[in-house]
Amino acid sequence: MENMIKSILVGVAIVFSLQANAQLKNEHTEGWLANATSTINQQLIKASQTYLPGQNPRSVTCGTVRLANYKDWTTGFFPGTLWYGYELTGNKALAADAKRFTLGLDSMRYITDTHDLGFMIYCSYGNAYRITKDKSYLPVLSDGIKNLAARFNPKIGVIRSWDFGEWKYPVIIDNMMNLEYLFWGSSEFDKSAYAQIGTTHALTTMKNHFRPDFSSYHVVDYDPSTGKVFRKATHQGLTDSSAWSRGQAWGLYGYAMCYENTKDLRFLTQAEHIAKFLMNHPKTPADKIPVWDYDVHNALQADERAPRDASAAAVIACGLLKLSTKVKNGQQYFKYAEDILKSLSSDKYLAKPGENNYFILKHSVGAFLYNSEIDTPLDYADYYYLEALNQYKKLKKT
Ligand code: GLY
């Protein structure tokens, strides 16, 4: 009898100690998130007081902040980050700032010469409307989506990305990100044509942008007179045949998002193939934050000289979190995304409050071979980091 009581007591003690350990682990897990959230809140408050609507902080070069006006492809990210910051922290002051910085971009509705309207308008006005349901945001969203859809050429089956340069009809992998605006607008404005354009663009891109290992070309240039592929090349990567890190990230997010919106299994399969390429890449550093191009010669685990791209990592985390809820073995994607978010939330990448010109993350790369925005904070790194953190928090709760 005495022995039995002893065994029960030992058993109870073990259960309590396991529970305590689990709680400690939980607290530890939440520790990095709480620290990141507090930093984000402080940085965004300061940034909103420092910068002016219509002149949004984009990056930092040699200590000088580069500002983005309403025509800049990145201009929607700062207001979008404020909206995500409000969701993450619950700080109502950030929602008020988000509104001011969103409205400062009203003139985007007249832009017709770029595919970036999804990044620009959907990340700012789209989030504003999603969060507030305030219909006064709709006219800009309605004008912008018309301008985006007008860039679709049915003969080629894709939206034209750029109007500049020597290209005939350039389409870049980044363009996958603009499709979310079309899928959303299709039901909001009751226009099935928008979703059809999105699906067709994604299918054409799937056919022409990808290599057998599911890495992607940055630019595919089409011949508008025949609709055929004219040339496959790069603009921001190391070489035409290299795997530019952010491009791979755009592709992953793009196809996971297309599956989310269409339930077309071809998109899910494509996203899983891209995820496999990224997650198993031998040059991925131990902290899972990639170098700016996977084919940079010194992009090796031990070599700290090659500039990392935190923006690519943040976009990959978003894409993997999306995937994690859509497949049976989703835990592997969740875990990888969590590892990325923990790395980005470490001292190496996360700014200290008051530093980094009030950007949140350090160490991203814009366009290395143009000597532009190398090892700098970037507004889109911050935006997708916050999107991923919000998503991570939601998934943790369920
Ligand atoms: N969309 C341009 C870039 O990712 O740098």
11 has pLDDT over 90: no
Cα 381 from Cα 77, distance rounded (Å): 9
User: With contact defined as beta carbons under 8 Å apart, do 333 and 271 qualify?
Assistant: no
**Closest ligand 1 atom, residue 172 Cα:** 1
CA of 250 to the centre of ligand 1 (A): 9
Catalytic hit among 72, 97, 116, 309: 116
Q: How far is CA 240 from the centre of its chain?
A: 23
**Ligand 1 pocket member 283 (CB < 6 A):** no
Q: Is 116 a catalytic residue?
A: yes
10 has pLDDT over 70: no
Phi, psi of 376 (to 5 degrees): -130, 160
Encode pLDDT of 272-317 as tens digits.
Answer: 999 999 999 999 999 999 999 999 976 655 567 789 999 999 999 9
216 has pLDDT over 70: yes
Cα 370 from Cα 215, distance rounded (Å): 22
**Ligand 1 pocket member 174 (CB < 6 A):** yes
210 has pLDDT over 80: yes
Residue partners of 172: CB distance under 8 A and separation at least 6? 115, 161, 162, 218, 219, 220, 235, 247
Q: Is 379 a catalytic residue?
A: no
Q: Give the residue whose CA is nearest to atom 2 of ligand 1.
A: 174
Domains and CATH numbers, the chain: 21-396 (1.50.10.10)
Q: Give the residue whose CA is nearest to atom 5 of ligand 1.
A: 366
**Ligand 1 pocket member 236 (CB < 6 A):** yes
Encode pLDDT of 51-95 as tens digits.
Answer: 999 999 999 999 999 999 999 999 999 999 999 999 999 999 999
Cα 230 from Cα 28, distance rounded (Å): 53
122 has pLDDT over 60: yes
Give the pLDDT of residue 302. Answer: 55
Give the pLDDT of residue 71. Answer: 98
The whole-model pTM stands at 0.93
Give the pLDDT of residue 13. Answer: 44
Cα 303 from Cα 312, distance rounded (Å): 18
Q: Which of 37, 30, 23, 33 is nearest to 84 (CA)?
A: 37
**Closest ligand 1 atom, residue 366 Cα:** 5
Give the pLDDT of residue 322. Answer: 98
Beta-ladder partners of 114: 162
Encode pLDDT of 227-264 as tens digits.
Answer: 999 999 999 999 999 999 999 999 999 999 999 999 99
